[in-house]
């Protein structure tokens, strides 16, 4: 079974690799296609009065769902979590946020909703779900369900994630292991904008919390102490308790609304083309700071900004070689380091910037828009194996030659697997 959470990868080499990552996490007002999707989203920062914590949790549970993604043969590919974030004004359709990595590589979807009647009796109801669209770099996907009967479906209320502070109480609701739906855990916010790398997704700025989350919790809601969603759980260290992460709710809502605004429907009202975040690139380059020898016969050291990983279907595939690819390949003995990046910012003229840190490089790469091109001037960091050098052990050194590599940047649009 595919893992339904993403592990944060920390790579440590004998000569120091550090992921220093950057991603702007701000909420941008959206001009979405109201004629295609006209939904109601609850955003409210008021503090409820007269409710105990257990009452707040009790009420929050019914806006959380279990997500199951599989293939056309009915096999379960991944299990995760989600939260109902909006509804059509007619109340006949409801929209669910989950993680992109929960639905990735799958083509059939269902969710389980919790209902609680007036007597406190609980029941679970399964719904077939339709994928509306997805954003890989934001790790957000949107599902749609149609109301089946007279039951009352609860839409979550969202708070402002820009207002959260370290030490704030939070709780999460998710579906650990894909079989423990509705699990509640409690903790605090440990950091509000932690720069980190998420395996298979790329670089993100996330809320860090010690609230317990596990495989299957991905896509679930992180609530503040008043029952307002302030994050969407998406990552954690597999072997360490208390190191878990969530996408800020402002970022998640912004991505979800932009996805809805680009969905295309056919004459029957069904999705004919998945929604996406306009301008989101498929560049997929993650960088890191790396220290290597400054020449083949040198004992001197030099710090370079390395290409650490390329995501699947990256625009840079077959043009740049990453450290990850080099470490796994028997035929490649080098990876690229970045010397400069020539690009066109959203405003202003095209420019070339000398790269001095992975943090700087990542900020540029993360903001490159689809439909443009970039030129990376790169040098190879070459691996020399034992017996091939005076060092008596394998080592990496920086080549003298600079390569100029042009990359056309395309729009990321999610597609269903064909097999």
Please tell me the number of Cα atoms within 13 Å of 139 on its side-chain side.
33
Q: Which of 101, 104, 137, 289 is catalytic?
A: 101
Q: Which of 139, 289, 315, 322 is catalytic?
A: 139
The rounded distance, in Å, linking the Cα atoms of 260 and 132 is 7
For residue 139, indicate whether it is catalytic.
Answer: yes
Beta bridge partners of 384: 395
Q: Is 49 exposed, middle or buried (0-12, 13-18, 19+ CB in 10 A)?
A: exposed
Q: Which of 137, 218, 322, 337 is catalytic?
A: 218
| φ/ψ bin of 141: left (φ > 0), alpha (ψ from -120 to 50), beta (otherwise) | beta
**Long-range CB pairs of 180-186, under 8 A, 24+ apart, other chains included:** 180/216, 181/66, 181/81, 181/112, 181/114, 181/124, 182/61, 182/64, 182/66, 182/114, 183/217, 184/57, 184/61, 185/211, 185/212, 185/213, 186/211
For residue 108, the tally of other CB atoms under 10 A from its CB is 19
Residues designated catalytic = 101, 139, 218
């Amino acid at each position: 079974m595919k893992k339904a959470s993403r592990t944060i990868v920390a790579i440590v080499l004998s000569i120091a690799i550090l992921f220093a990552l950057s991603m702007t996490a701000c909420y941008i007002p959206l001009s979405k296609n109201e004629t295609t999707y006209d939904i109601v989203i609850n955003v409210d920062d008021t503090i409820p009065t007269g409710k105990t914590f257990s009452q707040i949790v009790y009420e929050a549970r019914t806006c959380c769902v279990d997500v199951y993604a599989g293939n056309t043969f009915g096999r379960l590919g991944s299990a995760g979590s989600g939260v109902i974030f909006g509804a059509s004004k007619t109340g006949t359709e409801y929209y669910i946020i989950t993680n992109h990595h929960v639905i990735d590589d799958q083509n059939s979807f269902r969710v389980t909703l919790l209902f609680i009647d007036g007597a406190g009796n609980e029941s679970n109801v399964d719904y077939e779900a339709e994928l509306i669209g997805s954003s890989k770099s934001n790790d957000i996907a949107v599902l749609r369900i149609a109301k089946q009967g007279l039951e009352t479906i609860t839409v979550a209320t969202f708070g402002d994630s820009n207002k959260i502070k370290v030490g704030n109480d939070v709780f999460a609701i998710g579906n650990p292991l894909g079989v423990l739906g509705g699990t509640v855990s409690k903790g605090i916010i440990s950091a509000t904008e932690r720069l980190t790398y998420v395996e298979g997704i790329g670089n993100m700025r996330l809320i860090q919390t010690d609230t317990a989350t596990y495989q299957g919790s991905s896509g679930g809601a992180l609530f503040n102490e008043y029952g307002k969603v302030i994050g969407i759980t998406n990552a954690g260290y597999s072997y360490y308790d208390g190191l878990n992460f969530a996408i800020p709710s402002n970022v998640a809502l912004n991505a979800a609304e932009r996805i809805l605004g680009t969905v295309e429907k056919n004459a029957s009202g069904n999705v004919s083309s998945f929604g996406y975040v306009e301008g989101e690139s498929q560049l997929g380059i993650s960088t890191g700071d790396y220290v290597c020898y400054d020449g083949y016969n040198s004992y001197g050291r030099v710090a370079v900004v390395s290409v650490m990983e390329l995501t699947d279907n990256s625009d840079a595939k077959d043009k740049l070689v990453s450290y990850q690819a080099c470490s796994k390949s028997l035929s490649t003995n080098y990876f690229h380091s970045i010397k400069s990046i020539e690009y066109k910012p959203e405003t202003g003229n095209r420019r070339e910037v000398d790269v001095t840190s992975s943090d700087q490089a990542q900020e540029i790469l993360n903001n490159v828009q689809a439909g443009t091109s970039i030129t990376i001037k790169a040098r190879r960091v070459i691996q020399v194996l034992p017996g091939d050098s005076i060092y008596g052990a394998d080592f990496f050194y920086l080549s003298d030659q600079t390569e100029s590599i042009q990359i056309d940047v395309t729009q990321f649009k999610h597609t269903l697997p064909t097999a």
